[in-house]
Structure 1
């Protein structure tokens, strides 16, 4: 399938680098940041630290932006959430990248210090930054304008060192030699934050990080880290074994609520179906047109057998919609029907989807429409 050019904004063109698309995503339950970075020209991209429960969101964004996902990269084997790398590999064919030293199953791109992960003409440099865990990695953009630091270095903090082969001396050297050695202007993007802080920079952390910034040396850092006395992560017993399988589910898989049709959810979470599939399955679907009566009977026509309930009447007429079949909602362009789809979902309809692109997409594909009979011309007296 041809991939459309990625749609976004230029993040970095320093040192002649090709423009990039960049998105920072967040999972509120675990305080985890996921990052999507792609070269605009080639539409090739990477996903960093995906979260299992946010797979549908991330996949929808990748599809909407027209990105060809090259790889999912994890900064380390997380103890607080399950990675979504295997799910994304299953959906897109992207490779799974994790530190080779972690020894995880299903990894197709074992990473070591000094490796380069290319996407289009750009690349991320792999830097080993152990100390939080043996397998912690920091990914540095080729022009050194930004770095993804995982849990090694957080905004005004750093990862803990009291389990999973953690070592405060090792972490101090990793941060100072591999991260704070980058240019002062290099932006730093952590894997976690719980206070709304989204990024920092090398100069900021070197000056203001309470654990190792300012005049603090290795002795100060180790003394700080060895006295944190933190509780273990609440999902440790589930997350770590799952991440050593790269997030691949084991045992029973919950039923797919969208299994009745090839639903493609938008980044906003809206369930959508393509016109050609709806046309092929019309006999087993109820088609609900939420345009006005004038539009339904106007020159654009309507899909044969569709039920007309204008959007403004939908709430009062819900009882007129058959319940024995899945429901596909449509309008002129897919905009008003998107709102109607949301209303129907809130009302408890589970098997409901928006017709992507509406009647305009249906027309473009040359699918059948009914048009009103022209009114006979009145004879001139």
Structure 2
């Protein structure tokens, strides 16, 4: 497997390139429009054909590159059917399997940060988007957010994975790059050490976070796969 973890500094967004060594087919998870040229150069340098862009949700903090990459490479955009992005080529649901060469991705619907959030599970790792972060979780105070639903998603769909499963989040603001399910179950400040659903809801209600800086531009753009900015 070919694997690259890429980082966009303005919004602290992680994008993941995963490729099949045998077929040279690849996916990008949560690509950012401003990094488009870098993706194209990396794909060319590694001799990879981009098959899918996999969105973990419709983002409020950056504009996706999925539409631009579709125009440039012929890749197909994958989004959950509840995400509100009918521009996508594939509207997936829970338990859908995506095959890319020898690589397999299982879609797990993990709503709560937004109603259309998914995580992508591979044999040894999971890409959790903004549902489960390293030491934390996505916020639940806008865009169909629901703290109780997010708790249920993480406990039932993510903490049920094998303990040594690698956790690759959609963002990190502290310089962390990877965790494990075992570590998050033990040490996550919002969910770890057996915190209850009520504990988590109370924590999320008390965060008092600022209004997302780019949401008014990013949301309408991302509902059009990054191609229409209102």
Q: Which residue of structure 2 lines up, in the alignment, with residue 63 of structure 1? A: 44
Matches within 5 A, 1:318-333: none
Q: Tell me the distance in 2 between the aligned counterparts of 1:122 and 1:46.
A: 10
Which structure has the higher relative contact order (CA within 8 Å, separation 6+)? 2
Alignment equivalent of 1:43, drawn from 9, 21, 24: 24
The answer on 1:187 being equivalent to 2:166 is yes
Q: Which residue of structure 2 lines up, in the alignment, with residue 105 of structure 1? A: 86
Q: Which residue of structure 2 lines up, in the alignment, with residue 365 of structure 1? A: none
Q: Which residue of structure 1 lines up, in the alignment, with residue 138 of structure 2? A: 159
By percentage of residues, which structure has more strand? 2
Moved segments of 4+, more than 3 Å: none
Alignment equivalent of 2:111, drawn from 117, 126, 130: 130
- Report which of the two structures shows the higher radius of gyration computed on alpha carbons: 1
- After TM superposition, the score normalised by the length of structure 1 is 0.59
Matches within 5 A, 1:76-225: 76-141=57-122, 143=123, 145-225=124-204
SS at match of 1:60: helix
Unaligned runs of 5+ in 1: 1-19, 252-381
Contact 2:27 2:53 in 1 (8 A): yes
Cα deviation 1:230-251 (Å, max 9, x = unaligned): 0111001000000000111459
Q: Tell me the distance in 2 between the aligned counterparts of 1:119 and 1:235.
A: 32
The alpha-carbon deviation at position 215 of structure 1 amounts to 2.9
Cα deviation 1:282-325 (Å, max 9, x = unaligned): xxxxxxxxxxxxxxxxxxxxxxxxxxxxxxxxxxxxxxxxxxxx
What is the RMSD computed on CA atoms of the aligned residues?
1.0
Matches within 5 A, 1:253-292: none
Q: Tell me the distance in 2 between the aligned counterparts of 1:208 and 1:61.
A: 35
The alpha-carbon deviation at position 105 of structure 1 amounts to 3.4
Q: Which residue of structure 1 lines up, in the alignment, with residue 214 of structure 2? A: 235
Unaligned runs of 5+ in 2: none
SS at match of 1:148: strand
The alpha-carbon deviation at position 204 of structure 1 amounts to 0.2
- After TM superposition, the score normalised by the length of structure 2 is 0.98
Contact 2:163 2:182 in 1 (8 A): yes
